[in-house]
Amino acid sequence: AQSVTQLDSQVPVFEEAPVELRCNYSSSVSVYLFWYVQYPNQGLQLLLKYLSGSTLVESINGFEAEFNKSQTSFHLRKPSVHISDTAEYFCAVGTQDGSEKLVFGKGTKLTVNP
Amino acid sequence: DSGVTQTPKHLITATGQRVTLRCSPRSGDLSVYWYQQSLDQGLQFLIQYYNGEERAKGNILERFSAQQFPDLHSELNLSSLELGDSALYFCASSVWLSLTAGACTTNEKLFFGSGTQLSVL
């Protein structure tokens, strides 16, 4: 079975500071990896994904994540955050074995303060 | 707007009752997923339907059931409700592709609804 661990439940940072949201996974088969974002009072939206190829993936709003197979990690980073980045971020893993479900981490609440 | 519609947005009920949550997927999406989000468990996969048939099952209680209708909308039925069932229930849809030659499936992107907040008092 797969599992996802998001080590930090809450991450407070100041505006324009860098941030890293950590995600580790475990799986016995090859995986797809995702980061979803949930803004207040909204559903989840896909932020970025790793399916294959380059291990560094980027989103349109400046976030990036790097797939590290040896460390089974998929940490999310942004060099300079905005107040509008305040949201909850979920890491998720899907397997390449024909199973359809995504297994989510418990989420990291990012709060960007002025 | 993800294109996935969930109703109702909020539901308040009492223990022992039964409720039905409804989800309309994005136009053209054949696959519907149900997730439960609670503070202690995080986001948990409940069940998936593809074109009317159950495709995958997760941590869904026997008191819960779901179905997908010919028009592809889905309903999640929760019965004999308990206090611990209070949570945010999300529906998601996707285009599920199966490349039968390679026995490979892709689950690239889930589109989530805004959720139904269920409060059991």
Task: Report pLDDT digits (tens) over B53-97.
Answer: 998 888 799 999 999 999 999 999 999 999 999 999 999 988 754
Give the closest of A43, A49, A92 to B114, CB-based. Answer: A43
Confidence at residue A2, expressed as pLDDT on a 0 to 100 scale: 78
Tell if the CB–CB gap between A103 and B45 is shorter than 8 Å: yes
Confidence at residue A13, expressed as pLDDT on a 0 to 100 scale: 97
Q: Using 50, 70 and 90 to split pLDDT, how confident is the model at B98?
A: very low
C-alpha neighbours within 13 Å on the C-beta side of residue B67: 5
**Dihedral of alpha carbons B64, B69, B72, B75, sign:** negative
Residues of chain B found within 8 Å of residue A25, distances taken between Cβ atoms:
none
Give the closest of A96, A101, A103 to B48, CB-based. Answer: A101
Percent of chain B, pLDDT > 70? 88
Confidence at residue A60, expressed as pLDDT on a 0 to 100 scale: 80
Mean pLDDT over A20-45 rounds to 86
> What are φ and ψ of residue A91, in 5° steps?
-95, 140
Chain A interface test: which of B10, B98, B110 (most A C-beta within 10 Å): B110
Residue from A4, A13, A96 nearest B105 by CA: A96
10 Å Cβ neighbour count for B41? Answer: 13
